Amino acid sequence: MPIYEYQCENCSHRFELRQGFNDKPVETCPLCQGNVRRILSPTPIIFKGTGFYATDNRRKDGPQPDSGMDKAKFEEAKEAADKILKKEKESK
């Protein structure tokens, strides 16, 4: 069953509801009875157990610099990863 997220337009209360497709959509806030609107969930669909992640597309070519990561650290991490890969190849 999908989980829907709602936000109250009156008091901004957010809540989640697990609903079947045939259930009536919720229209009122449980706190203040104000109007609520359904929020489309930003959560990506994750296929558990397959190793495939919807957010993982950009990692095809190994580690990519993260926007929050500084470049020197990234290069360092990449070098370390390369060394480990080399070692693994040599040991075969």
User: Which residues form the interface with Zn ion (CB under 5 A)?
Assistant: 8, 10-11, 13, 29, 31-32, 34
Nearer to Zn ion by Cβ, of 11 and 81: the residue is 11
In angstroms, give the least distance from the CB of 27 to Zn ion.
12
Q: How far is the CB of 39 from Zn ion (least distance, A)?
A: 14
The b-or-e profile of 30-64 (16+ CB within 10 A means b, else e) is eeeeeebeeeeeeeeeeeeeeeeeeeeeeeeeeee
Distance in Å, CB of 14 to Zn ion, minimum: 10
User: Which sign, positive or negative, has the C-alpha torsion 85, 86, 87, 90?
Assistant: positive
Tell me the β-bridge partners of 33.
none
